[in-house]
Amino acid sequence: MRGRGPRTVDDALLRVEDLHTHIGVRGGVVKAVNGVSFTIRRGETVGLVGESGSGKTMTLMSIMGLLPVSAARIVKGAIWFDGRDLLRENEAAMRKVRGARIALIMQDALTALNPVLTIGDQVSEPLRYHPGGYQRRFQDRVLEVLDSVRIPNPAARLNHYPHQFSGGMRQRVLAAMALGPAPDLILADEPTTALDVTIQAQFLTLIRRLQKETNTSALWVTHDLGVVAQTCDRVNVMYAGRIVESGDVRRILRDPKHPYTLALMESVPKLGEKRDRLYQIAGQPPNLLNLPPGCAFYDRCPLRMDVCREQFPPATPLEDGGSVHCWAVSDGRPTAAPAAEAGR
Amino acid sequence: MTMLTSAIGARARSVVGRAGQLPIVPLVILGALIVGALFADVLAPHDPLKVELTNALAPPFYHEGGTMVHPLGTDELGRDILSRLMHGGRVSLLIAASVIVIGGLVGVPVGLLSGYVGGLTDSIIQRAVEAVLSLPTIMVALVFVFVIGQTYLSIILILSPFVAAEIARMVRGDALAIRRSNYVSLARVAGASHLRVILRHILPNVAGTIIVVATLQVGALILVEASLSFLGVGVPPPTPAWGLMIDGGREYVATRYWLSLFPGLAIVVTVLSINWIGDWLRNVLDPRQQML
Amino acid sequence: MTRYLAGRIFQAFIGLVFITTLVFFLVRLTGDPARILMSEYAPLELREVLAERLGLDRPLYEQYFSYMGGLLTLDLGRSFSGQPVIDVLLARLPATASLAFASLIVAIVLGLPLGILSAVYRGSAVDIFSRTVALFGQSVPAFWLAIMLVLVFAVILRIFPVAYSQGIESYVLPSIAIGWAAVAGIARLVRSSMLDVLDSDYVLMARAKGLPPTVVVVKHAFRSAIIPVLTFGGLVLGSFLNGSVVVETVFAWPGLGKLTLDAVNGRDFPVVQGAVILIAVFFITINLLVDLLYAFADPRVRYR
């Protein structure tokens, strides 16, 4: 996905262009985000899928401008939002965007909520500190949004503290906090990871519906393909700081092109399928301090070739508007199922 | 067993890794102080008890009238201050070391017991420990030493419970946390007796805390001992003690400040070095509590 | 919440009983207080009379019960000067209490900003400066600092008075001498507490909501960070009562500390006993109050 400049006619709300975020650690520099580009259109939900360490959370934090300043730096790239490059904005301008236009839903509601403040206080904060349509009647809006996330009897619970809520309800409070100011874009960092599966399904359905009602876009960061299947329109698959495949969610689930995506799909046992052992991707995750110049999946890839080690493959466009970065695919070679060595 | 050895091994490796910024300065200072104090008999230029009234209140060498014979001057009885400082250091170190040892010998088992056994025993011990810690140290020591008599033994005896209580409190906290950890459960499942679990599993992991607490308590002890001798209930005269020297110099402070200044500086430098090392140890052994 | 309260009060009570018992036995450890009260060379009959006067000839348990009973009615016996001990103590209490509070103010005024700045600007010159101050603060004996302060400010510079007077100026030097050691402790605790909180997810969330930085630091970070500092503040106040003994001597401050020292030297046992008990009682009460304050500040404890 190549960016073309600020306002374009394809209705892009957010355009990330060639983002590079580096983290300085004792051993050297970790290229957590190593050239990531993607777009999110209005009303669209885009998934960012990968293992831990793939760089997905760092991408999220880079968009928000909430990187730990001492250790992390964005060294290259642009993030276009509403005609402006967020990376060139100063802190005061970013503060106007955060919460009001771009909202964050974090993974663990228990730690994301301040334990000594009431939830009424916390949910109303983004409304209170961001001038906007709601400023005068923000109390009503708080009740409205809490009701929309199905918190029973919200008026009575405004003075309650986070620890007085169940896990599922807390997560919905987080969603209410994000949705209150009616943002254009929601960034969700694995918000269902800490929940039970059934609560998770409820939560996802709820958010999806609210999104549809308000035409709010979302970037959904997760490692869980089930979540992706339920919520996303399009998906970007990340590995070692780079996007290796992107496209329509149904196409990817049905017909993944990149060997890593294929391997991820294989790792999820399917209903009705009979297996003796769980599939495991061979090899170890890459050492982020010492990334090879070529494709980072090289060591674990059943289709690897010499060129893969030396050069990172360019994008091969696909029918659904997505693309894949793989020498094996762009070469015209048919993608094969992972070989026996991969542990089946 | 292998899990434990690997757990300790991992810890040791990370300790060595973090030992990078060894605090050379305080170690050297402390080393010099300890040597000076322990070998005061040999190293001190003069007899600390020798009264020489004709040379009383002589100034330090950098003042007019001072000589290098008495580099830090003499006190109101003409005794050499430097020599008295060195002997006084021995007193402080001796008391501090003894109290730490006794306090540790009592505090560690009590803390381990309290943390490991839990329940009623723990509650009772905890109340006792808290009660001891809520006693005003100096006042209690003051009364005790006065009643029993001013001897090394009485001072050590009354200060030990306070140190023991502090150590017991810290050890208990650690023991409580470790008791719930996985490798302890595994050891118990594997049939290890309680005693074995405590000695082989809990104690090594508590060692770090013990060392840090003990080091920091040494500093506190020196201050308490100095306060006691300042008030007149430290080691009996004529043995020199830093606090005593400060008190002695009080009435001359306007004109002959050095009588009170140098013993005070000695205390500050000693305790500072000890605390510095203690902080460094704390960083090395438990990064969560990082201060420096 | 009331269960928590009741539990704490009960604990405090137990602590009190324990301490008063301890003091009772501490004072009687040598076996014959009368011998200590009077010198060894006093004739036996005189000592016996004294023993009888003080009730020391009665069996131990009787003495203990009358002692405990007396405590409940706030009767701590009579000093050798004839006055009831409780009156003597109460007369000297205000001086010590006011000094302790003044020292607490000093410690907080100096320690709190140092700790906050140290945390917010971690790694900077401010941080290093305050950590050095902290290190020094805990290494300097209060009585020596008092003497040096007197030397510099009272004798050489003549800004502040040397001894007690009703005016505020006389509080300056002694409260600095006592409070100084606590500045270190408070600054450190505030710093580490703030650092923990500043790194927390809810502070990140507050920033993600686009809240102004003052709101993030004060409303979110500070509110949570202050809680452990409260407990520490209580302990600090208690330790000031302890430390006042030495500093009061330097400044001839008419407080409990100096009273204790004089009483010890003058072998006025009832007063000594009473003073130690009073200070211990204060300690326990302060801790109890702090626990209650803690419960009030942290709703997680409240709605147990």
Q: Which of the pair, C154 or C177, is modelled with greater confidence?
A: C177
Q: Which of the pair, C75 or C111, is modelled with greater confidence?
A: C111
Residue A272 confidence (pLDDT) above 80: no
For residue range A158-190, list pLDDT tens digits in order: 999 998 998 889 999 999 999 988 899 999 998
What's the pTM value of the predicted model, to 2 decimals? Answer: 0.71
For residue range C198-244, list pLDDT tens digits in order: 888 899 999 999 999 888 888 888 888 887 887 788 778 878 877 78
Candidates C139, C194, C286, partner chain B, best to mutate (most B CBs within 10 A):
C139
Contact C224 A97 (CB under 8 A): no
Q: What is the band of C301 on the pLDDT scale with cuts at 50, 70, 90?
A: low
Residue B44 confidence (pLDDT) above 90: no
Residue B11 confidence (pLDDT) above 50: no
Q: CA-CA distances (angstroms) from residue C230 to A228, C182, C291?
A: 47, 13, 9
Chain B nearest-CA residue for C190: B291
Q: Does C304 touch chain A (CB under 8 A)?
A: no
CA distance C265 to C256: 14
**Topology adopted by domain B23-48+73-282:** MetI-like fold (1.10.3720)
**Is the peptide bond preceding residue A68 cis, with omega within 30 degrees of 0?**
no
Which of B134, B147, B272 has its CB closest to that of C280?
Answer: B134
For residue range B157-176, list pLDDT tens digits in order: 999 999 999 999 988 888 88
Q: Which residues of A touch C (CB under 8 A)?
A: 64, 66, 70, 94-100, 103-104, 106, 108, 111-117, 125-126, 129-130, 161, 163-164, 177
Q: What is the band of C56 on the pLDDT scale with cuts at 50, 70, 90?
A: low
Chain C nearest-CA residue for B264: C144
Q: According to the model, what pLDDT value does residue A113 have? A: 92
Which has the minimum average pLDDT: A213-222, C102-111, C160-169?
Answer: C160-169
What b-and-e string marks burial along C167-204, b requiring 16 or more CB atoms within 10 Å of the CB? eeebbbbbbbbbbbbbbbbbbbbbbbbbbbbbebbbbb
Which has the minimum average pLDDT: A52-66, B1-15, B224-238?
Answer: B1-15
Residue B288 CA from chain centroid, whole number? 23
Q: What is the band of C28 on the pLDDT scale with cuts at 50, 70, 90?
A: low
Residue A253 confidence (pLDDT) above 60: yes
Residue A7 confidence (pLDDT) above 80: no
CA distance B104 to B166: 10
Q: CA-CA distances (angstroms) from residue B288 to A186, B111, B275, B282, B283?
A: 34, 21, 18, 9, 8
CA distance A31 to B233: 65
- Tokens linked to B9: 């091994």
Residue C304 confidence (pLDDT) above 80: no
Q: What is the band of A326 on the pLDDT scale with cuts at 50, 70, 90?
A: confident
Q: Are A317 and A56 in contact (CB under 8 A)?
A: no
CA distance B234 to B243: 8
Residue B102 confidence (pLDDT) above 50: yes
For residue range B251-290, list pLDDT tens digits in order: 888 888 888 899 999 999 999 999 888 888 887 776 544 3
Which of C201, C215, C220 has its CB closest to that of A111?
Answer: C201
**Shortest distance, CA B274 to any CA of chain C (angstroms):** 9
Residue A175: closest CA among A203, A138, A143, A137:
A203
For residue range A216-240, list pLDDT tens digits in order: 999 999 988 888 888 999 999 999 8
What b-and-e string marks burial along B255-284, b requiring 16 or more CB atoms within 10 Å of the CB? ebbbbbbbbbbbbbbbbbbbbbbbbbbbbb
Containing A84, the helix (H) or strand (E) segment is strand A84-85
CA distance C71 to C69: 5
Compute the radius of gyration of chain A from its Cα atoms: 21
User: Residues 6 or more apart from A199 whose CB is under 8 A from it?
Assistant: A167, A168, A171, A192
**Mean pLDDT taken over chain C:** 79
Q: What is the band of A60 on the pLDDT scale with cuts at 50, 70, 90?
A: very high
Q: What is the band of C196 on the pLDDT scale with cuts at 50, 70, 90?
A: confident
Q: Please name the chains neighbouring B, where neighbouring means 3+ C-beta pairs under 8 angstroms.
A: C
What b-and-e string marks burial along C64-75, b requiring 16 or more CB atoms within 10 Å of the CB? beebeeebeeee
Which has the minimum average pLDDT: A163-177, A242-256, A313-327, B183-197?
Answer: B183-197
Which has the minimum average pLDDT: A130-134, A294-298, B25-29, B233-237?
Answer: A130-134
Please, which residues 198-227 of chain C have a Cβ atom closer than 8 Å to chain A?
200-202, 204-212, 215, 219-220, 223-224, 227
Which whole number is the average pLDDT over B235-246?
A: 88
Which whole number is the average pLDDT over B48-57?
A: 80
Q: According to the model, what pLDDT value does residue B13 have? A: 46
Q: According to the model, what pLDDT value does residue A27 have? A: 76
What b-and-e string marks burial along B26-55, b requiring 16 or more CB atoms within 10 Å of the CB? beebbeebeebbeebeeebebebeeeeeeb
- Bridge partners (DSSP) of residue A317 are A323
Q: Does C154 touch chain A (CB under 8 A)?
A: no
CA angle C46, C52, C53 (to 5 degrees): 90
Would you put residue A189 in left (φ > 0), alpha (ψ -120 to 50) or beta? Answer: beta
Containing C209, the helix (H) or strand (E) segment is none
Residue B48 confidence (pLDDT) above 50: yes
The amino acid sitting at C264 is: V
Which whole number is the average pLDDT over B90-110?
A: 93
Residue B236 confidence (pLDDT) above 50: yes
Q: According to the model, what pLDDT value does residue B106 have? A: 94
**Shortest distance, CA C232 to any CA of chain B (angstroms):** 13
CA distance A187 to A166: 23
Q: According to the model, what pLDDT value does residue B174 have? A: 83
- Tokens linked to C87: 């009156």
Residue C51: closest CA among C261, C269, C259, C264:
C269
CA distance C232 to C189: 8
What are the residue ranges spanned by the domains of chain A? 258-321+328-344
Q: Which of the pair, A42 or B180, is modelled with greater confidence?
A: A42
Please, which residues 219-258 of chain B have a Cβ atom closer than 8 Å to chain C?
219, 223, 226-227, 230-233, 243, 246, 250, 253-254, 257
For residue range A25-35, list pLDDT tens digits in order: 777 888 888 88
**Shortest distance, CA B167 to any CA of chain C (angstroms):** 17
Q: How many CB atoms lie within 10 A of CB C205?
A: 27
CA distance A173 to A170: 5
Q: Which of the pair, C129 or B1, is modelled with greater confidence?
A: C129
Which has the minimum average pLDDT: A32-46, A103-117, B137-151, C37-51?
Answer: C37-51
For residue range A110-129, list pLDDT tens digits in order: 889 998 899 999 999 998 88
User: Residues 6 or more apart from C25 whose CB is under 8 A from it?
Assistant: none
Q: How many CB atoms lie within 10 A of CB C165?
A: 10
What are the residue ranges spanned by the domains of chain B? 23-48+73-282
Q: Please name the chains neighbouring C, where neighbouring means 3+ C-beta pairs under 8 angstroms.
A: A, B
CA distance A281 to A266: 9
Which whole number is the average pLDDT over A268-277?
A: 72
Residue listed under structure tokens 């998934």: A47
